[in-house]
Amino acid sequence: MRLPLILYIEDSGFYQKMLLDIIGADYELHFADTAFLGIVKALSLLPDIIFLDVQLPDARGPELIKTIKRYMPKSIIIMVTSDNSAQTVSESKELGANGYIIKPFSVAQINKHLDKWQVEFNKSSRMVSTPEIASKLAELIKEKEELKSVEKIKKYQLWMEKKLPITLPFVFLEVIDLPVIYNKSKQMCTTVLAFTLEFNGELSCIGFWNELKTKSTVTPYLMKSVIKSLKSRELNDIYALVLDPQIRDFIPEFQSSYPNAIVGQRLIPYHNIFYTQDFEIKK
């Protein structure tokens, strides 16, 4: 018997623990407490069953159903909520939800749904990732990082303006790694994001490049693609290139391609810790 992999998208620690107490010992169970993390984990883990809360901090649960069903049509989605209004139930079913559980749920309710779909799991194999899913993951991360970075980059901009006589834009590169299942094996999807910041305060993502591989490393092939693509965008007047720590080995390549630019390397990725003193200038 093939036991399903389960993802519970729920912001309440109480209900997460409640489901863990019911099925945690018998199933592989994962949690996400926001809609964004829920989608990212769904596309990374490819769960057989998704228990989905209706009210999440950053979105309504039904808004996730369409995306999940598009990329993982075989995933079973069970809505879990205290909102049992006819409108919410009807909306979820129309979008593709396979079931509905009212909080507080019981052992019998959970087991009823697990037993109902177990026959289907026994007939099928685990889902595997596809290039389309990997691309969607990279797109979601890019959008999230762009939103998260605005305030941090403004602080960075002020510091740079004080330290350097900048009159031209600078470009910074970030590296994000996510595990994915592809061709039945666990691989890493490494995404390099490129942002440009004009000193009128305008921020924009100018590109992203991703690569599937078995190890979490940035390959020379990927960096050659990044540099070639940046050059094709005619970014020849860059004053400074600010590099993610994972790209430190490729500083000579950037210096060769942009001999008039300052190449800056942060010692810590900004999405973990962001302190201006962690910026190291290399000429």
Would you kindly state where each structural domain of the chain is located, as residue ranges?
A: 5-123, 131-282
Q: How far apart are CA 28 and CA 13, in angstroms?
A: 18
Q: How far apart are CA 179 and CA 70, in angstroms?
A: 20
Are residues 241 and 262 in contact, defined by beta-carbon separation less than 8 angstroms? yes
Pick from 32, 10, 2, 4: which is nearest to 101 by CA? 10
Q: What is the pLDDT of residue 77?
A: 94
Phi, psi dihedral angles at 257 (to 5 degrees): -80, -30
- Return the CATH number of the domain spanning residue range 5-123: 3.40.50.2300
pLDDT at 53: 92
Domain covering 131-282: architecture: 2-Layer Sandwich (3.30)
pLDDT at 52: 93
Q: Return the bridge partners of 209, or none.
A: 192
Model pLDDT, residue 129: 74
117 three-class SS: helix
CA 36 – CA 41 distance, rounded (Å): 9
pLDDT along the chain (283 residues), means of 10: 84 90 81 88 88 89 89 90 78 88 89 84 75 77 62 53 52 77 71 70 71 76 84 67 80 81 60 34 34
Buried b (16+ CB within 10 A) or exposed e, 142-154: bebbbeebeeebe
Tokens of 213: 């591989």
- pLDDT given for residue 275 in this prediction: 31
Q: Is 15 exposed, middle or buried (0-12, 13-18, 19+ CB in 10 A)?
A: buried
CB atoms within 10 A of CB 26: 9
